[in-house]
Amino acid sequence: MPPKVGKKLDWEFALAREAMDSLAAAGTPQELRKAWEQYTTAFGRLVGKSITLLKDKPETRGRGDKLHKLSNDQDEGLRYLRLSRNATEHSLDLPAQYSPGTAVLGNGLVALPPNTHVQFSNFAFNQEAKGNFEVKTGPYGFPQDLKGPVQAAFVPANIKLKEVKTVHNGKQRIAPVPKTVWGNAIRLGSPGALADGAYKGLVEFLSQD
């Protein structure tokens, strides 16, 4: 762990990493939501306790103040994660949209959700006869059994981050979907890139003299 916190935050770092692993492995909207909410909670607690530890010593108090300002307002990625955690705990509106994996047929002509079985007869695409075909999708939306001339692609379950709105002491706070975290550009709307960049950036921040 970073030397400024020693082993005092081993548990918090482990929880954040565990949530990141779950996010990468998730295959359903329910698994994605659980992993993302676990990550925003774990990372928020990790940042909060890092601030407390840094402010506890005179020689690192300035670093604690800086991290507090970054997570509150100055860094758009850290601020988004903090408000997402608050929205998860207090708001009735989800801060993200979760979609299941789908089997996409015929260059996007048809999208089939998980656990689906369909049969097409005398199918035609762009006035070209394709004949008959049948397809089944599994619990994650992957095309398991495709019979016929139509190609199928797989789009995994995914999260679409949304603008976050929360209310604190009667004042509304808004955080758009971030383009950067710790000043580094990330793939817009990618929760995995945001989570990974935020975690690595915190480790680097805590490791600096």
Phi, psi of 174 (to 5 degrees): -125, 135
What mean pLDDT, rounded, does the chain reach? 88
pLDDT for 136 equals 86
Question: Confidence band (pLDDT; 50, 70, 90) for 34?
Answer: very high
SS (H, E, C) the chain: CCCCCCCCCHHHHHHHHHHHHHHHHCCCHHHHHHHHHHHHHHHHHHHHHHHHHHHCCHHHHHHHHHHHHHHHHHCHHHHHHHHHHHHHHHCCCCCEEEECCEEEECCCCEEECCCCEEEEEEEEECCEEEEEEEEEECCCCCEEEEECCCCEEEECCEEEECCEEEEECCEEEEECCCCEECCEECCCCCHHHHHHHHHHHHHHHHHCC
Select the more confidently predicted residue: 110 or 109.
110
33 band by pLDDT with thresholds 50, 70 and 90: very high
pLDDT at residue 180, rounded to an integer:
97
- Per-residue pLDDT at 5: 63
Percentage with pLDDT > 90 across the chain: 57
Measured between alpha carbons, how far is residue 86 from residues 41, 89, 93, 95, 194 in Å?
9, 5, 11, 10, 17
Residue with the bigger pLDDT between 45 and 147: it is: 45
Mean pLDDT of 188-199: 94
Question: What's the whole-model pTM score?
Answer: 0.85
pLDDT tens digits, 152-172: 888 899 999 999 988 777 788
Please, which pLDDT band fits residue 125 given cuts at 50, 70 and 90? Answer: low
pLDDT (tens digit, 9 = 90+) per residue, 61-98? 999 999 999 999 999 999 999 999 998 888 777 889 99
pLDDT score of 151: 76
Task: Give pLDDT, residue 6.
Answer: 62
Range picked from 94-98, 186-190, 203-207 for highest mean pLDDT: 203-207
> Confidence band (pLDDT; 50, 70, 90) for 130?
low
Q: How confident is the model at residue 4, as a pLDDT? A: 55
